[in-house]
Every structure is written in C-alpha cells, then in structure tokens.
Amino acid sequence: MSSEVAIRVEALRTGFGDFIVHENVSFEVARGEVFAVLGGSGCGKTVLLKHMIGLYRPLAGKVSIFGADLTAAAGEARLAILKRFGVMYQLGALFGNMTLAENIRLPLEEYTDLPDEAMDLIAETKLRLVNLGGAGQRTPAEISGGMMKRAAIARAMALDPDIIFLDEPSGGLDPVTSAELDQLILRLARSLGITFVVITHELPSIFAIADRCIMLDKRVKGIIAEGRPAELRDHSPDPRVRRFFNREPEPEPALA
Amino acid sequence: MASLALEEHDGLTRIALAGRLDAYSVGPLWRAARSALDHHAQQRLIVDCSRVEYCDGAGVALLLDMLRQPRPAGAEVRVEGLAERFRRLLEQFDPKSLAPAPVEAPRVGLVEQVGRAGAQVGADLRELVAFLGEAVAALAYAVRHPRVLRWRDIFYVAEEAGVNALPIVALVSFLLGVILAFQSAVAMKQFGAEIFVANLLALSILRELGPLMTAILLAGRSGAAFAAEIGTMKVNQEIDALTTMGLDPVKFLVVTRVLAATAMILPLTVLANLIALVGGALVMLTFEIPIATYYKQAVSFATLADFFGGLAKALVFGVLIAGIGCLRGLQTGTGASAVGIAATSAVVSGIVLIVFVDGVFAVVFYYLGI
C-alpha cells in the first residue's frame, strides 16, 4: 500500500440552514486502503458521504480527491474528478428502465468511443467480477436486494475508478450475502488496488474489511475516534467507542 | 376485564384498579380516571393497583397519564401496590417529562399568510425561470450536437407520449367536434344559418380547441408521467447516481422528454383538428348539409394562418408541459407521497401554464392581425 493520499477532507463544516451536522471534520484516506466511516444512526454518515462525492456543498472546508479540490471545481475539471470515483448508493440506485448490462454501459456510452461489442464485453466482465455473470439482460426489478447491491458495485466500477464509495453495502442483507460482499470488496481492493470508502455500522463487516476507520458522533458533530477497528475496540480510551465495538447499550440516564 | 372504583378510607381517596389493564380494556377506564382526578383536584390520591393482574404498555400509559397531570402541592397522585414486574415497565418513564405540552397554536396573521404565499409563488417562479433557461441551453446544445442525444430514449418517450395517446386524443376530439357542431347547429337552425356551423368549427377548432384539448390531455397523461417517473428516480437516488457519474439530469432526462413530447404534440394536434372537424361534418349530415358543402365552406373560411397559428401554440404548450413535468419531478422531496404531490403539481401547473400562455397568444395574434 503506497502512502499517497486518495481523499483529503479538511475542516469540513456541513449542515442545512441552522442545523449543523458536522463541525470541523478532517481526515485522510490513503490510496488502496479500505476505509470505513462508522457511527450510530443519525450521526451524519450519509451526509458526510454526500459531501465527499460532491452532491452537497459544504458550509466550510473542502474535499480533495487525489489533490484536486472537488468543492471548488466546475465544468470539465469537476467531471475529471467525478470520473475518478464510483458510488454504490444505499438503495442501489440502478436505473429501473435499463437492464443491468445497460446500467453498466451507460457511463461507457457517455464517456468513451468504444465499439458496441467492447462495451458489452466490459459490462459482462464487470458483472462476473461481482458474481452476476449472465444476468446482464435482467432488469433491476427482477433481481434480489443482494444482487442489486452487487450490480450497483459493478456499475460503480464501469470506468475502472480509483475510488469506490459504498453506502451501507450490507444493510438489509442476510449474513451470507453480506459476507460474500465483504470478500468481494477485499478482493477488488487487494487485486485492483481500488480505494474503498465504506459507510457502515455492521460490526462483522467492519472487522472483516476495514484497514482503518473513523467514528462519528452526533453530539460532538464530528470524529471521536480514528484508527484500526481492532485497536479501537480493545484500546480506545473513549467509552463510547468501546461500547460501539462491543455492542453495549448506553448506560441509562438516571430518572429525574 | 378491568375495573376502576373509588374508595374513601380514613379520609384518603383511593382509585382502585383491578383486572387486566391492556389496550382493549383501558379505553373505558381512561375517562373515569381523569374525572376522578378532576373531582379530587385538591386531595392526595392513591392509585391502588394491588388487584391488577396484568398491565401492558396501554396500562402503563393509563398510570402515566394519571401521574403526569399537573397538580397542586399536597395533592399528588401516587401509584401503590403494582406488582414488581409491571412496576419496572412503569419506571422506565419519567411522568413529568411526558407532561402534556400547553397547546398553543402558532398564530399566523392574514398579512403574514399572504406574504408567505406570495414569497412562495415568487420563489417558485424564479426556480421555473432558472430551470427553463437551463433546459433551453441544454436543448440548444443537443440541437447543435444531435449525436449526444439518446435517441432510443427519445423514441421510447415519443411512443409513450405520442402514439399511445392517439386513441384518447381521437376520442375526445371527435366528441368535441360532435358536441360543438350539434349545439351550435340547433341554435343556428332557427335562422336557417346551419351552413355557418362549418365556419364556427373550423375557426374555433383550428385556432383554439384542437391545440388546447391536445395540450390538456398531454399534461394529464405525460406531464404527470414525467413527474412521477423522475420523482421516483429522485427518491431511489438514481438522480444522485447520474450526478456523480457526471451526467447532468437536465441534459440526460429533461432534454429527451421535452424533445419527444414537443415533436409528438404537433401530429397529435393535427389529428385532433382533423377528427374534430370530421365529427362536426357527421353531425351536419343530419342537418342535411352534405360533407362536400361543409368542407368547401370550412376551407373557404379558415386560413392557413389559423392552422399554423394553432400549431405554433401547440408547440409552445408541448415544451411547457414536458418542462414543468420534469421540473416537478426533479423537485420531488423524499417518500412515496412526494411522488404523488409532484405528479399532481405537474398537471395543475401544466394546465395553468397552458391557459396563461393561451391568453398571451390571443393578445399577440390580435396585434399581429393573425
């Protein structure tokens, strides 16, 4: 793993109107690592992701992808940054009126001059990578939730990006499918050197795949821990972090 | 079953609850408990639960309701005798934090309401204008670079919005022609002027009713469909997916729909005109006006300017209906009901825009002498 920085988030401040979600959030993701963003419900994991992929504009601070400032970029420069990453959305967000193969072909059609059969072949290879070989002619309505997530990863890989963002990849999946997805992520990270940013709160998945993680907290509106998951579980000085990793409920507040 | 009884003991009032306190039995007790509390507002009250056999969430709610009522000092309510396993359920909650909030409806004055509504309309108009600019820019780009267009999508939308609308457009315009001809023929017959029904039909349908009916049908069918489709894509994060792929939703989704709908409204309008006039001709047959006479009368009266003026209007209607449908779709909030709201709003704003623009056309045509 090289130490090149893939994503740098600096002093990010996010929110909607008067409602602040994150305050002064900074971290870096190195190239080739599987980086997890953890935290309980409502701590702003998905909001952070949407800022990292440029869907939302931060109130302050910036996000750079391989040194290029995504928050300030516009037009062609922005497009160049967007092409360096792919996103798998929480619900898959496959285009419902297209087959799986067409979903994967879409970015290829828009951005390359590849001949038709080349695009078909690329779509099929991407589907095979996620164990969906031969399912290219099915539509998203005809496949299961787990297949949908895998197909969404395949689409995110269409242009062979350097970074893939995954929003809750194992949410709503059975343990076996979820474990298969974890293996897929590891395989892609190790063999293709893709950097993964994974939004999750599934403990088994975190320990299985994450090289490093940050943990967000609603009350401090930012990061309360950063490091390797196993180390945080065993050695974090912060009781909130240890509780999260050991699946313990919060101590009950004393009754008034 | 559960019961509630009031007992006086050594100057102490006890509310004795007994039996099963669950969601089915608590209802009748609720009011009795409240009125007992109100009757003894200045007295200390004990809720005796020693004969309660069972108490679930609803029973706990009943007890909490009694405990949370604001009472003067020295007139507290206390729960006694509740079995340990039920007491634990009750102790999870702090009655005081569940105290009913004082009901205070935010009072919004008439002036403020009008102001807010005005600001809302203003913001909506601004957004509409911005969107129109964006869409026109994208359309202009597409026209200059027809290779970037997704023709397959365009043909698909054209089939949905155009070809599949043929039966309904034909039916409505046929009936329109029949009704219009019949109504006016009955009146004109009194003056022996049935022949001029042809003039009336030719002028009103070509200039006004043909394009208007087609546009309203398009708004109801396709405007709503565009809003619902794009709205669902928004809810499913598909719009986000397009954006992070670097594909502008306006270019990608709106241009195809606006182009297809606009291209389709022209033949639909021509067809509506034709069928309405045919419907009128059939009615006139029963008034002993042969089709050839009707045709001659109509053609000699209506001009090409009437026909093309109507088509020009239809063209603008098509752009507006498709555009507003797509805009409402892109403005969709979250959740299933938001999609319904978007579809409704697309039809309503579509029809309002049609009528408004029709008025503008009437004025412009008047000054141009068309």
Over residues A19-33, the pLDDT tens digits come to: 889 888 999 999 989
- A162/B370: higher pLDDT: A162
**Residue B368 amino acid letter:** L
Q: How confident is the model at residue A253 (pLDDT cuts 50, 70, 90)?
A: low
pLDDT at res. B72: 84
Which structure tokens are listed for A128? 């095979």
Query: Residue A108 — pLDDT band, cuts 50, 70, 90?
Result: confident
Kindly give, in sequence order, each residue whose CB lies less than 8 Å from that of residue A169, ignoring residues fewer than 6 positions away: A88, A149, A153, A178, A181, A185, A198, A200, A205
Contacts of A106 in chain B (CB under 8 A): 245, 247
A·B CB contacts under 8 A: 52
Question: What is the mean pLDDT of the segment spanning A221-240?
Answer: 86
- Interface touch A87/B241, C-beta < 8 Å: yes
What is the total count of domains within chain A?
2
Q: Which tens digits make up the pLDDT trace of B261-274? A: 999 999 999 999 99
Instruction: Count Cα atoms within 13 angstroms, Cβ side, for B279.
Output: 23
Same domain, A76 and A178: yes
Same domain membership, residue A79 and residue A1: yes
In a domain, A107, yes or no: yes
Over residues B94-121, the pLDDT tens digits come to 888 877 666 667 778 899 999 999 999 9
Q: Which of B97, B241, B246 sits opposite A89 (nearest CB)?
A: B241
Where is the domain boundary, A117, A135, A160?
Answer: A160
Instruction: Kindly state whether residues A72 and A106 are assigned to the same domain.
Output: no
Q: Does B216 score more than 90 pLDDT?
A: yes
- Cβ atoms of A65 and A7 closer than 8 Å: yes
Distance from CA of A86 to the nearest CA of B (A): 7
Chain A residue closest to B252 (CA)?
A: A110
CB contact under 8 A, A50 and B240: yes
Share of chain B above pLDDT 70, in %: 98
Average pLDDT over residues B203-216: 94
For residues B7 and A128, what is the distance between their CA atoms, to the nearest angstrom? 77
- Compute CA A46 distance to the chain's CA centroid, rounded to the nearest angstrom: 9
Structure-model confidence comparison of residues A146 and B185, the more confident one: B185
Q: Is residue A256 part of a domain?
A: no
Residues A129, B240: Cα–Cα separation, whole Å: 24
Q: Does residue A209 form part of some domain?
A: yes
Mean pLDDT of all residues belonging to chain A: 87
* Minimal C-alpha gap between B364 and chain A (Å): 39
pLDDT attached to residue A256: 42
Asked whether residue A255 is assigned to any structural domain, the reply reads no
Which of A49, A57, A81, A87 to probe by mutation at the B interface, max B CB count within 10 Å? Answer: A87
In chain B, ranges of CATH 3.30.750.24 domains: 2-98
Closest chain B CA to residue A253? B92
Residues of chain B neighbouring A85 (CB-CB closer than 8 A): 244
The nearest alpha carbon in chain A to B236 belongs to A93
Residues of A with CB under 8 A from a CB of B: 50, 53-55, 78-79, 82-83, 85-87, 89-96, 106-107, 110-111, 155, 255-256
CATH of the domain at A167: 3.40.50.300
Residue A16 has pLDDT above 90, yes or no: no
In a domain, A133, yes or no: yes
| One domain, residues A153 and A171 | no
Point out the residue among B96, B233, B243 whose CB comes nearest to the CB of A256: B96
| Interface of chain B toward chain A, CB-CB under 8 angstroms | 91, 94, 96-97, 232-233, 236-238, 240-241, 243-247
Angle at CA of residue B215, ends B213 and B220, nearest 5°:
95
Average pLDDT of chain B is: 90
Residue where a domain terminates, one of A160, A186, A205: A160
Say if the Cβ atoms of B245 and A110 lie within 8 Å: yes
Looking at the structure, tell me whether residues A151 and A200 fall in a common domain. no
Residues A235 and A178 in one domain: yes
Same domain (yes/no): A57, A126: no
| Nearest residue to B149 (alpha-carbon basis) of B258, B237, B239 | B258
Q: Is A134 helix (H, G, I), strand (E, B) or coil?
A: coil
Q: Do A82 and B233 touch (CB under 8 A)?
A: no
Q: Which is higher by pLDDT, B335 or B298?
A: B298
The residue of chain A with its CA nearest to that of B98 is A256
Mean pLDDT of B308-327: 94
**Chain B residues touching A256 at Cβ < 8 A:** 94, 96-97
| Residues in A touching B246 (Cβ below 8 Å) | 78-79, 82-83, 110-111
Shortest alpha-carbon distance between residue A45 and chain B (Å): 16
Chain A partners within 8 Å of B238 (Cβ): 93-96
Closest-CA distance, B99 to chain A, in angstroms, reads 13
Residue A107 has its nearest CB partner, among B97, B236, B245, at: B245
Residue among B91, B97, B236 whose CB faces A93 most closely: B236
Q: What is the spatial distance between Cα B84 and Cα B80, in angstroms, rounded to a whole number? A: 11
Contact A93 B241 (CB under 8 A): yes
**In terms of Cα–Cα distance, which of B181, B171, B176 is closest to B221?**
B171
Q: With a threshold of 0.85, tell me whether the complex ipTM lies above it.
A: no
Q: Are residues A75 and A189 in the same domain?
A: yes
Closest CB to B243 among A55, A92, A155: A55
Among B235, B244, B330, B339, pick the best mutation site for testing chain A contact (most A Cβ within 10 A): B244
**A100 in the same domain as A39:** no
The span from the first CA to the last CA of chain B, in angstroms, equals 83
Contacts of B240 in chain A (CB under 8 A): 50, 55, 87, 89, 93
Inside any domain, residue A193: yes
**Per-residue pLDDT tens digits for B166-201:** 999 999 999 999 999 999 999 999 998 889 999 999
Looking at beta carbons, which residues of chain B come within 8 Å of A79? 246
Domain stops at, among A160, A175, A196: A160
pLDDT at A34: 93
Secondary-structure class of domain B2-98 per CATH:
alpha beta
**Partners of B166 in the beta sheet?**
none
Per-residue model confidence (pLDDT) at position B286: 93
Q: Are residues A124 and A174 in the same domain?
A: no
Q: Which domain holds residue A69?
A: 1-84+161-248
Report, as an integer, the average pLDDT of A177-193.
86
Residue of B nearest to A161 (CA): B245
- Candidate from B94, B96, B240 with C-beta closest to A93: B240
Q: Are residues A17 and A143 in the same domain?
A: no
Of A85, A86, A256, the CB nearest to B97: A256
What integer is the mean pLDDT of B221-243? 93
Contacts of B96 in chain A (CB under 8 A): 256
Write down the H helix ranges in chain B. Answer: 26-39, 57-68, 84-90, 110-144, 151-161, 166-189, 197-204, 210-218, 224-235, 238-244, 249, 255-286, 291-301, 304-330, 336-368
Single-letter amino acid code for the residue at B294 = Y
Is residue A254 domain-resident? no
pLDDT mean over A121-138: 86
* A243 pLDDT tier (thresholds 50, 70, 90): confident
If you measure CA to CA, which chain B residue comes closest to A112? B148
pLDDT score for A1: 46
Question: What proportion of chain A, given as a percentage, has pLDDT over 90?
Answer: 24
Does A175 share its domain with A137? no
Which H/E stretch holds residue A62? strand A60-65
- Note the pTM of the prediction, 2 decimals: 0.77
Q: Rounded to an integer, what distance in angstroms lies between the CA atom of residue B89 and that of residue B71?
A: 23
Beta bridge partners of A5: A30
